[in-house]
């Protein structure tokens, strides 16, 4: 499995640096399992980037569905991420339904349909971000349910929504909108102005509400913190980056459609290292 894990680590280093760094700070014996889950998530998350239209994207996602459902469709050993994921599923006796839900939610990414409302957005983030967090908790707890589903749910929304706000310039450039329609309407935002790259007061009002929503979910994770086993702390490490990202997004000179809120790798490493072992007191 060594070469498969090397591949998953390389993939994460390129496409999901935050989770790559957080996995490196987990106990060594659990890193292969975490890398496998995170690499699988990165693979299905970037499908739209590597296809020119939705149909080939649906085919790629169907391949993962077939793999998880046990349908014969080619050698799994030829795909190092699938191979590493299969071993992780078996080792920790993971239920596949959560992984299948992650794949199915990613169909939304292939199209430019608007996100209908805030509840739909939370559901999407629940499948695509909270799901990997909860699976990581299961791995870190040796496959036994650590009863962290509620905390993982809130953590996924907080971290995932922060990522969507940061990615706004990229999504807007391809006419893709994750900001919910009901929140847009509440602040009289015309989505076409976003697609044209116009940073309006209405857009800033929407983003302010979205950041408040992030902090609401962070607060819910803090409330749940006493019930989260210490062994599962590494699953929540990416949350240590949320407030630093939000501060970048809230800077007076920051333009949310022309800039991406970034933190240098060295600073990210320091933040995550500092939070490791006590992340739930540092979010």
The predicted-structure confidence for 115-136, as pLDDT tens digits, reads as follows 999 999 999 999 999 999 999 9
- CATH number of the structural domain spanning residue 244: 1.10.600.10
**Are 99 and 118 members of one domain?**
no
Cα–Cα dist 75/23, whole Å: 28
Q: Are 223 and 198 in contact (CB under 8 A)?
A: no
Phi-psi region of 99 (alpha: psi -120 to 50; beta: other; left: phi over 0): alpha
Task: Please name the residue that has the structure tokens 């169907």.
Answer: 62
**Are 188 and 246 members of one domain?**
yes
pLDDT value of residue 70: 85
Cα–Cα dist 101/256, whole Å: 30
Domain limits at 7?
1-110
**Are 105 and 187 members of one domain?**
no
Question: What confidence category does residue 281 fall into, taking pLDDT thresholds of 50, 70 and 90?
Answer: confident
CA angle centred on 125, ends 121 and 126, rounded to 5°: 110
Residue 262 reports pLDDT greater than 60: yes
**Are 79 and 146 members of one domain?**
no
**Are 50 and 117 members of one domain?**
no
Spell out a b/e string for 37-65, using b for 16 or more CB atoms within 10 Å of the CB, else e: bbbbbbbbbbbbeebeeeeebbebbebbe
**Are 121 and 223 members of one domain?**
yes
Region 259-279 average pLDDT: 92
Query: Final residue of a domain: which of 110, 130, 153?
Result: 110
Cα–Cα dist 200/167, whole Å: 17
pLDDT value of residue 180: 98
Cα–Cα dist 228/1, whole Å: 30
pLDDT value of residue 72: 60
Cα–Cα dist 202/189, whole Å: 5
Task: Please name the residue that has the structure tokens 């962070």.
Answer: 218
Q: What is the pTM of this model?
A: 0.95
Within 8 A by CB and 6+ apart from 66, the residues are: 73
SS3 197: coil
Query: Final residue of a domain: which of 110, 131, 152?
Result: 110
**Are 69 and 131 members of one domain?**
no
Query: Final residue of a domain: which of 110, 138, 169?
Result: 110
pLDDT value of residue 74: 61
Within 8 A by CB and 6+ apart from 80, the residues are: 3, 4, 7, 8
Question: What confidence category does residue 282 fall into, taking pLDDT thresholds of 50, 70 and 90?
Answer: confident
**Are 94 and 150 members of one domain?**
no
**Are 146 and 101 members of one domain?**
no
**Are 181 and 133 members of one domain?**
yes
Cα–Cα dist 139/144, whole Å: 8
pLDDT value of residue 163: 98
pLDDT value of residue 170: 96
Domains: count for the chain: 2
**Are 23 and 91 members of one domain?**
yes
Cα–Cα dist 195/171, whole Å: 9
Question: Count of alpha carbons within 13 Å of 92, Cβ hemisphere only?
Answer: 29
Give pLDDT tens digits for 184-217.
999 999 999 999 999 999 999 999 999 999 999 9
**Are 40 and 57 members of one domain?**
yes
Please give the structure tokens belonging to residue 262.
């970034």
Residue 224 reports pLDDT greater than 80: yes
Cα–Cα dist 149/132, whole Å: 11
Task: Please name the residue that has the structure tokens 């299948």.
Answer: 100
With 0-12 CB in 10 A as exposed, 13-18 as middle and 19+ as buried, what is 84? Answer: buried
């Amino acid at each position: 499995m060594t070469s498969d894990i090397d591949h998953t680590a390389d993939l994460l280093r390129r496409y999901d640096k935050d989770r790559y760094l957080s996995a490196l700070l987990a106990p060594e014996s659990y890193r292969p399992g975490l890398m496998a889950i995170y690499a699988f998530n990165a693979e299905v998350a970037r499908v739209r980037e590597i296809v020119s239209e939705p149909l080939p994207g649906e085919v790629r996602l169907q391949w993962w569905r077939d793999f998880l459902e046990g349908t014969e469709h080619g050698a799994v050993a030829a795909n190092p991420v699938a191979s590493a994921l299969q071993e992780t599923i078996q080792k920790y006796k993971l239920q596949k339904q959560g992984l299948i839900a992650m794949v199915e939610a990613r169909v939304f990414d292939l199209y430019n349909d608007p996100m209908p409302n805030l509840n739909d957005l939370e559901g999407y983030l629940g499948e695509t971000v909270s799901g990997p967090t909860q699976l990581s908790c299961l791995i870190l707890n040796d496959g036994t349910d650590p009863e962290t589903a509620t905390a993982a749910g809130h953590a996924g929304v907080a971290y995932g929504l922060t990522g969507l706000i940061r990615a706004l310039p990229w999504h807007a450039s391809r006419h893709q909108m994750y900001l919910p329609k009901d929140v847009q309407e509440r602040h009289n935002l015309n989505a076409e102005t976003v697609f044209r790259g116009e940073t309006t007061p209405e857009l800033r009002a929407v983003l302010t509400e979205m950041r408040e929503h992030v902090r609401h979910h962070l607060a819910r994770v803090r409330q749940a913190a006493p019930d989260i086993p210490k062994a599962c702390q590494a699953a929540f490490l990416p949350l240590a980056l949320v407030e630093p990202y939000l501060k970048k997004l809230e800077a007076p000179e920051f333009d949310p459609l022309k800039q991406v809120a970034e933190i240098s790798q060295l600073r990210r490493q320091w933040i995550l290292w500092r939070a490791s072992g006590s992340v739930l007191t540092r979010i």
